Structure 1
Amino acid sequence: MFASSPFPELLIHARHWLGGFALALVMMSVGAALERRWPAELLQSRAGMRFNVIYAGLYMGLAEIMRPLMAVASVAIINALGGGWVVLASRGWGALASIVVVLLTVDLLEYAFHRLQHAWPVLWKLHSLHHSATDFNVTVTFRHHWFEVFLKGCLLYPVVGVLFKVEPWIVGVTAVIFMFGNYFAHMNLRVDLGRFTTWVNNPQYHRLHHSNRTEHFDHNFTQLLPLWDDLFGTLWVPAKHEWPATGLDDGAQPRSLLGALSWPLRSHAGLGAVLNGRRVEILDKEAK
């Protein structure tokens, strides 16, 4: 008996990728229009933006390829640990409370994982690709190493399935909130939220996290709500005119798409990285 054709399944994945990338292009286009109207930084590299957009397509394609493996890993973890410890309501005001619970849980997990990315050298080698962008703008949103989405899909997000039994639409609502928040936080947009600056992640708040100035290292890790930075001592409240330059302290950047895909393998990976609030000087230590 011949095996069934894989073409229908490949077509489904292609449609998922195309739809996701089309949405990303729309969001980036809207963000770029806002950035042109109220830019925080002028004269950013258009070549750099094109690079980020093309890389976003590759990143999302690789994420789609890994989706089946992440699904298998998630189901295995949830089944092994007995998923759905807490049943969340899906109707009326209870549904709103469920959205808040899921949102806070995911945001806390994102915060914890983000801190690990800056604290563990192996994770920093992956995450430093995101921080290598010297032009901070909406196209940086997907400038993450492709293996990070695999780690989150297999280790981070299944925790929500273990903790809660919840209707898919509630998870979908929180995903949309995080999506808009992620694009907004990475915009090259000069917006002053005043007293609300530390209420929600925003372009100035998150720009400080990407700053190449040592005083800003290891601050403002939050994905959506700065309350986690406040609770765990990593909050940096930006001054009114504080819009620092961004990028790695050693200025390293990928020179090609292949260089971005293989970023952790570069010869000087980790040199000059910021871990635990200080510069890691590997060569100096070896010299001693």
Structure 2
Amino acid sequence: MSALLEALPGLAMIGLMCVVAVAIECGGNVDRQRHCRAAAFNLAYYFTTTAALAPVMSIAASGVAVSLNSIGGGLVALPAGGWWFPANVLAILLVTDFLEYSYHYAQHKVPLLWRMHSLHHSEEQINATTTTRQFWFDQIIRAMVILPIVGLAIRTDASVVVVARMLVVANGIHVHMSLQRGWGRLWWLLNSPQYHRCHHSFLPQHIDRNLAPMFPIWDILFGTAYRAAADEYPPTGLQPSVRPSLLGAVLWPLRAGASGR
């Protein structure tokens, strides 16, 4: 229960950010009824699974803290204070994004990981809350592997980590928004709703492309980048189409045909 209470502020913040983003989306050219139904399902799934996983995440966080204390903190100590603060935030974001890119690449190439990750790609009415539509065991893997690596690699102030985490969450919500928005010639600098929508497309030219969560530079370096045309706004989801129930989402990898694209 204490772990759940500790997680509530973060859940509330993410929920509020998602609600505001969905409200912005509904002011645009979307089917509001379908949009709100999809958002409600994603948030119900997210809050249910996150609440259930709170004790596990708490144990994982404790394990990271013990590991960091045993070596005196991260291996690379970043300068603190003043103008170093944004540089520290950027360093955390770059390291985290590279690790997330690497894991995301594996999710698309390793059948077992894809069976879990395909829940995220089953979203046909992509919206701001789609960022929360992650299979629950994927979240455990991130907590046990990616976050500890970042913590063990870099030593910095806790405030830097908090700000970086907030930016990661905000980016995840933004790039999943149903907005026909790209950065034009600066597409390579930062992920955008258009860039990431192509990643969620089931069209052949988009499969396994645009894997970077925040910085497209990883896609460019490793040959997975797809530069969308100015008016490119493809359909999303899996083929054949699948719309799971809440229980179906919790048990997603056990579904027959969960490996479909």
* TM-score (norm: length of structure 1): 0.84
SS of the residue corresponding to residue 195 of structure 1 reads helix
After TM superposition, give the deviation of residue 241 of structure 1 in Å. Answer: 1.0
From 222, 232, 238, the equivalent of 2:212 is: 222
Q: State the Cα deviation string for residues 93-119 of structure 1 (Å, max 9, x = none).
A: 233322221111111111111101111
Q: Is the 8 A contact 1:186 1:206 kept in 2?
A: yes
Q: State the Cα deviation string for residues 65-93 of structure 1 (Å, max 9, x = none).
A: 31222124434655787752111112122
SS of the residue corresponding to residue 148 of structure 1 reads helix
Q: Does 1:91 align with 2:81?
A: yes
Q: Is the 8 A contact 1:38 1:190 kept in 2?
A: no
Specify the alignment match of 1:207 in structure 2.
197
**In structure 2, do the counterparts of structure 1 residues 124 and 83 end up closer, same or farther at CA, with 3 Å as the change threshold?**
farther
From 118, 140, 153, the equivalent of 1:163 is: 153
The one-letter amino acid of 1:246's match is: T
Specify the alignment match of 1:266 in structure 2.
255
Matching of residues 1-288 of structure 1 within 5 Å: 10=1, 12-39=2-29, 41-42=30-31, 45=34, 46-75=36-65, 78=68, 83-254=73-244, 256-270=245-259, 272-273=260-261
After TM superposition, give the deviation of residue 198 of structure 1 in Å. Answer: 2.7
Unaligned runs of 5+ in 1: 1-9, 274-288
CA RMSD, 1 decimal? 2.0
Q: State the Cα deviation string for residues 247-280 of structure 1 (Å, max 9, x = none).
A: 01222331x111100101112232x34xxxxxxx
After TM superposition, give the deviation of residue 208 of structure 1 in Å. Answer: 0.4
| Counterparts of 1:66 and 1:150, CA distance in 2 | 8
Q: Is the 8 A contact 1:130 1:144 kept in 2?
A: yes
Q: Is the 8 A contact 1:59 1:142 kept in 2?
A: no
| Counterparts of 2:246 and 2:50, CA distance in 1 | 14
| Counterparts of 2:84 and 2:14, CA distance in 1 | 32
* Runs of 4+ that moved beyond 3 A: 41-44, 75-83
| Counterparts of 2:227 and 2:107, CA distance in 1 | 22
Q: State the Cα deviation string for residues 34-63 of structure 1 (Å, max 9, x = none).
A: 212233x44561332221121121132133
Moved more, 48-57 or 127-136: 48-57
Moved more, 257-266 or 75-84: 75-84
Q: Is the 8 A contact 1:44 1:135 kept in 2?
A: no
| Counterparts of 2:138 and 2:17, CA distance in 1 | 22
Specify the alignment match of 1:279 in structure 2.
none
Q: State the Cα deviation string for residues 19-41 of structure 1 (Å, max 9, x = none).
A: 233222311221112212233x4
Unaligned runs of 5+ in 2: none
SS of the residue corresponding to residue 57 of structure 1 reads helix
Q: Is the 8 A contact 1:107 1:222 kept in 2?
A: yes
Q: Is the 8 A contact 1:141 1:182 kept in 2?
A: yes
Q: Is the 8 A contact 2:182 2:195 kept in 1?
A: no
| Counterparts of 1:245 and 1:183, CA distance in 2 | 19
% identical equivalent positions = 35
**In structure 2, do the counterparts of structure 1 residues 82 and 265 end up closer, same or farther at CA, with 3 Å as the change threshold?**
farther
The one-letter amino acid of 2:109's match is: A
* TM-score (norm: length of structure 2): 0.92
Task: Figure out how many residues of one structure are paired with residues of the other and give that number.
Answer: 260
| Counterparts of 2:193 and 2:92, CA distance in 1 | 24
The one-letter amino acid of 2:154's match is: F
